[in-house]
Amino acid sequence: MIALFKRELLIALRGGGGALTGVIFFLCVITIVPFGIGPDLKLLSQIGPAVLWIGALLATLLGLDRLFQQDKEDGSLDILVCQEHALTWLIFVKCIAHWIVSTLPLVIATPLFGLMLNVSPMGILASMVTLFVGTPAITFIGAVGASVTVTLPRGGVLIAILVLPLVIPVLIFGVLSIDGAINEPQPFTAPFLILCAFTLFTSVLGPLAASVMLRHSAD
Amino acid sequence: MKLVAETISVNRGIKRVVQDLSFEVEQSEALIVTGENGAGKSTLLRAIAGLLPLDSGSVDLQGGKEELLLREQCHYLGHQNGLKTALSVKENLEFWQNFSGEPDFAIQETLEIVGLAHTLDLPVGYLSTGMKRRIAIAKLLITRKQVWIVDEPTAGLDGASSKMFIDICSAFCDDGGILIAATHLPLDLKKTKSLHVEMLDTYADDAFDSGLDT
Amino acid sequence: MIENTKNNIGIWARLGAWLTHMANPTRFMRFADRTIPYLAGLSLSLFAIGLYLGFTAPQDYQQGATVQIMFVHVPSAWLAMMCFSVMAVSGIGTLVWRHPLADVSLRAAAPIGLAFTFLALVTGSLWGKPMWGAWWVWDARLTSVFILFLIYIGIIALSRAIEEPTTAARSLSVITLVGWIIIPIIKFSVKWWNTLHQPASVSKLGAPSMDAVFLYPLLTMALAFTVLFFCLHFMNMRNEILRRRLRVLKIKSGQLGKGSAV
């Protein structure tokens, strides 16, 4: 399994672009917002955390089709699903590796983009923490979407349609926790813990559902 | 140890591809699957490798490892090579060696067997089709599995490489392996059986096939 | 008590036997042909009674005549959720028992569920305008129903995209079950989000205890909608079975290569 994890990271590093595409897309979303709503710094700092979350969510959705598609195309998936490793576990590892290469850069880029949106230091810290904790859930749910569309040649858009409604709770609790961190009367711990719980819950549900799908997706 | 298939049937959609097929492959024996294009050779091999569900019947490896399923004791080499173009030959082979089964030959050694020792650090993307196929064949050697299921293994290989593949297969069979291959190449092995897959003109018992009379 | 449990087992066993019996599409077709006229008739008469009761119901002292929207709105919202549960059960039927009609049922239910969800959203919007002064409010209920609407669209899009029926059946079942598990979470999460951001939210049904003049028409309409759902569901399942048969026939006659859609 460690071998699989290393392979996934290595491919992403060599293949290049993958991680960067996400960050650039993230940047695009962040840049478009001030154009859309005007350069009012006060307003921007108010909605900044939410914009960061939406940008990160969309950027994460963008890369999900790569989760199984490439392995399917070059025949690796056939061999991977046949081995003695539990398929659920294998998918879990792939999800984690995918998250590290495509979503972790977004989390790391958050402070910079937060500054561009005039988010307070506390808000930036809270955004980073909630994104770090919450975005894995998007990848785990995305694994289900990626597995059901793996037989389709162009599944990308369909994955987004399928996954987007299911990740709305992640967005809600992520933004809620940031809100709690910045604005005093609002609670931070409760929504944050629910966010953590959601990630843990999907880390089981997502790979499990995806493994049911992938076991006989071989056509 | 022997591989036993009992009255297996495999469907592809509503089309029946394999109907009540039974065969046995003994240790050190090779089963050569022949048949015209579209007869269902690949489907049969995929079903044996556990990649497609059997509609009925069973495939078992008698005398294999009790705790493992048949598909876990197989090397399956399909039409695609299962190699990552972004990684070097060494990295690709290292991954498969660590990921599945017990290591057998060293990577350098297998590359010498397939005659590609000089490509060790080259990315797979730089290699030609035939060379990639040879790396995929090397993949069979790096971990020890009792059964090889190979589908058109020599596609894209020249005469010398095909000869090399036959040598590898015969060494594997002499060592007690079970080989199932779909190929038109005359595999010159000691113990071979052949299985001809006929194109069927029948359909699966589809639930939606009935009741046209009502 | 013991008698009761026994009876329950009897019901489940009988239901199981009936479902196995219905695994044959021809049998189901016969069953549907027989029941659909009754369901349609029952639904029509219930609608007649419900609409009559609804229109003659007195006007609410706060909401005026708009309260009558409720008689369409609330049942469609209920049905939107019930339909998804029917799909989830069908999904289990496909994955666990491989019941040939489970997939047909799931596919047939999806557009109906979408229609009910759409109806719930539109009537909710019509009701919301005079009540809240806006066509759309990001209220907890509205938002979660809207998410349900999106999930339905996703499922229908997926069912159109995958051509091979067995693969499609599996995919649909998996995504429906995941969606079904997540619906309570969505509902719960949005509710919470709402209480924090919009404390002064308008509760849908007004007073917690509803007057009988509103309750009876509402229940009648709910029953009418439920019967209508099963009627439409059976009809659509019949169509789906015919579509499948057509596909089989086309493949057999060689008009259709592997992998092309009907």
Express each pLDDT in A38-91 by its tens digit.
888 888 888 888 999 999 999 998 888 888 888 888 888 888 888 878 889 999
Of chain A, the percentage scoring pLDDT greater than 70 comes to 96
Chain B contact partners (≥3 CB pairs within 8 A): A, C
What pLDDT band is residue A129 in, cutting at 50, 70 and 90?
A: very high
Which chains lie within 8 Å of chain A at 3 or more CB pairs, if any? B, C
Nearest residue of A to residue B87, measured between CA atoms:
A11
Which among B15, B203, B208 has CB closest to C241?
A: B208
The C-alpha atoms of residue B171 and residue A75 are separated, in whole angstroms, by 26
pTM of the model: 0.87
Interface check B201 vs C, CB under 8 A: no
Cβ distance of B203 and C248 shorter than 8 Å: yes
Measured between CA atoms, the residue of chain B closest to residue C165 is B13
Q: Which domain holds residue B126?
A: 2-208
Predicted local distance difference test score (pLDDT) of residue C38: 93
Terminal alpha carbon distance of chain A:
25
Chain C contact for B37, CB < 8 A? no
Q: What is the pLDDT of residues B190-203, one digit of tens each?
A: 788 888 888 877 77
Count up the domains in chain B and report the number. Answer: 1
CB contact under 8 A, B68 and A84: yes
Residues in C lying within 8 Å of B, measured between beta carbons: 23-26, 29-30, 100-101, 164-166, 241, 244-245, 247-249, 251-252, 258
Q: What tokens does C222 get?
A: 């709910």
**Distance (Å, rounded) from C-alpha C111 to C-alpha B135?**
50
Chain C contact for B200 (CB, 8 A cutoff) = no
pLDDT at A52: 92
Q: Rg of the Cα trace of chain B?
A: 18
Query: What residues of chain B score a pLDDT lower than 50?
Result: 212-214
Side-chain-side CA neighbours of residue C154 (13 Å): 31
Give me the mean pLDDT over the A174-203 stretch.
89
User: Which residue numbers of C have CB closer than 8 Å to A's CBs?
Assistant: 95, 147-148, 150-151, 153-155, 157-158, 161-162, 164, 167, 170-171, 174-175, 177-179, 181-182, 185-186, 189-190, 192-193, 196
Please tell me the predicted confidence (pLDDT) of residue B186.
Answer: 75
> Looking at residue A18, what is its pLDDT?
65
Residues of B in contact with C261 (CB under 8 A): none
Q: What is the pLDDT along chain C (262 residues), one digit of tens a residue?
A: 445 555 566 788 888 888 887 778 888 888 999 999 999 999 999 999 988 888 887 776 666 667 788 888 889 988 998 999 999 999 999 988 888 889 999 999 999 999 999 999 998 888 888 777 778 877 777 888 888 999 999 999 999 888 888 888 999 999 999 999 888 887 787 777 655 444 433 444 444 456 677 788 888 999 999 999 999 999 999 999 998 888 888 877 775 554 444 3
How many angstroms separate the CA of residue A10 from the nearest CA in chain B? 8
Asked if residues B50 and B37 have their Cβ atoms less than 8 Å apart, the reply is no
**Residue bearing tokens 């995941």:** C178
ipTM of the complex: 0.86
Residue-level pLDDT at C196: 47
Count: domains in chain A? 1
HSE, CB side, 13 Å, CA atoms: give it for residue A113: 30
**Cα of B83 to nearest chain A Cα, Å:** 7
Nearest to B83 among A4, A74, A85 (CB): A74
Helix (H, G, I), strand (E, B) or coil at B178: strand
Residue C233's pLDDT is: 95
State the chains in contact with C (3 or more Cβ–Cβ pairs under 8 Å): A, B
CB contact under 8 A, A85 and B99: yes
And the tokens for C172? 């649909």
Provide the residue type at B109 as one letter.
E
Tell me the nearest-neighbour CA distance from B171 into chain C, angstroms.
Answer: 39
Please calculate the CA angle A171-A174-A178 and round it to the nearest 5 degrees.
Answer: 135
Q: Chain B contact for A6, CB < 8 A?
A: yes
Do the domain assignments include residue B214?
no
User: What is the separation of C-alpha C121 from the centre of its chain, rounded to a whole number of angstroms?
Assistant: 14
In tens, the pLDDT along A90-116 reads 999 999 999 998 899 999 999 999 998
- Give me the phi and psi of B59, to 5 degrees please: -125, 130
- Quote the CA–CA distance of B85 and B89 in Å, as a whole number: 9
Cβ-contact A121, A31 below 8 angstroms? no
Check: CB of residue A15 under 8 Å from CB of residue A55.
no
Cα torsion C87, C93, C95, C101: sign: negative
Read off φ and ψ for residue B202, nearest 5 degrees.
-115, 170
Contacts of B83 in chain A (CB under 8 A): 74, 76
Secondary structure letter of residue C22 according to DSSP: T
Sheet holding B2-12, edge to edge: B15-26, B2-12, B56-62
DSSP string, chain A: -HHHHHHHHHHHHHH-SHHHHHHHHHHHHHHHHHHHH-S-HHHHHHHHHHHHHHHHHHHHHHHTTHHHHHHHHTTHHHHHHHSSS-HHHHHHHHHHHHHHHHTHHHHHHHHHHHHHTT--HHHHHHHHHHHHHHHHHHHHHHHHHHHHTTTSTT-HHHHHHHHHHHTHHHHHHHHHHHHHHHSTTS-SHHHHHHHHHHHHHHHHHHHHHHHHHHHT---
- Convert the pLDDT of each residue in B116-134 to its tens digit: 888 888 888 888 988 999 9
Contact A155, A73 (CB under 8 A): no
Determine whether the interchain pair B207/C100 forms a contact, defined as Cβ–Cβ distance below 8 Å: yes
Q: Which residues of A touch C186 (CB under 8 A)?
A: 165, 168-169
- Stretch A174-193: mean pLDDT: 87
The enclosing domain of B169 has a CATH number of: 3.40.50.300
Q: Do C164 and B13 touch (CB under 8 A)?
A: yes
Say if B213 falls within a structural domain. Answer: no
Task: Map out the domains of chain C with their CATH numbers.
Answer: 25-199+208-252 (1.20.120)
